[in-house]
Amino acid sequence: MSARVLAAARWAAAQHHQQRRKGRHDTPYINHPLAVAELLARVGGVTDEAILCAALLHDVVEDTDATLADVEARFGAEVAGYVAEVSDDKTLTKAERKRQQVLKAPHKSVGAKLIKLADKTSNVGDLLDDPPAWPASRLRAYVAWSREVIDGLRGVNPALEAAFDATAARVDAELPTDDD
Ligand code: ZN
């Protein structure tokens, strides 16, 4: 394990230190980027350091006051490029950002596609493992949208794609069928 990857984990933890995940367990936010990087390495067999660093940093620009320039200064242009590719444009509405993720998925670099595959797998798995207080209909809509994004990312890593499919199928099977 390289010093740069560990430095990315440490800096991401510092950036996200006051944040919690959406779920009911009050999970520290950093657990999510750690899970994304771990999925890439363990399931996807990814060893590329820049991709693993970017996985650890994938939400710092979107969700903290860190900038792409900060990421580039600390971790280099390649890592910052991946983080830019996987960050939503926060000037857009939530609905438009979700639409853009579907439209842009097929045009991303291989590294960004790998990070998005693992990110969506982590987020969809958390709907069961650390569920937000959403009605089942909203949880199902989230899975459906995630599948649309994933369909634009396929063809880069069959193991990660299979992990997403298995996770989404598990959510489908275990979510209640109505809201009462
Ligand atoms: Zn994420």
Q: Point out the catalytic residue in the list 48, 62, 70, 148.
A: 62
* Catalytic status, residue 62: yes
Using the mean position of ligand 1's atoms as its centre, give its distance from the Cα of residue 62 in Å: 9
Residue with tokens 């275990």: 174
Structural domains in the chain, CATH included, are: 3-174 (1.10.3210.10)
Residues 71-124 have pLDDT tens digits of: 999 999 999 999 999 999 989 999 999 999 999 999 999 999 999 999 999 999
Residues 12-41 have pLDDT tens digits of: 999 999 889 888 888 899 999 999 999 999
> How many CA within 13 A on the CB side of residue 57?
34
Using the mean position of ligand 1's atoms as its centre, give its distance from the Cα of residue 82 in Å: 13
Protein residues placing their CB within 5 Å of the ion ligand 1: 59, 119
Describe the crossing of helices 49-56 and 31-42 by its angle, rounded to 10 degrees: 150
The model's pTM is 0.95
Tokens of 157: 């890593």
Residue 173 pLDDT > 60? yes
Q: What is the secondary structure of 131-162 as a DSSP string?
A: --S--HHHHHHHHHHHHHHHHTTTTS-HHHHH
Euclidean distance between CA atoms 44 and 156, whole angstroms: 10
Using the mean position of ligand 1's atoms as its centre, give its distance from the Cα of residue 56 in Å: 9
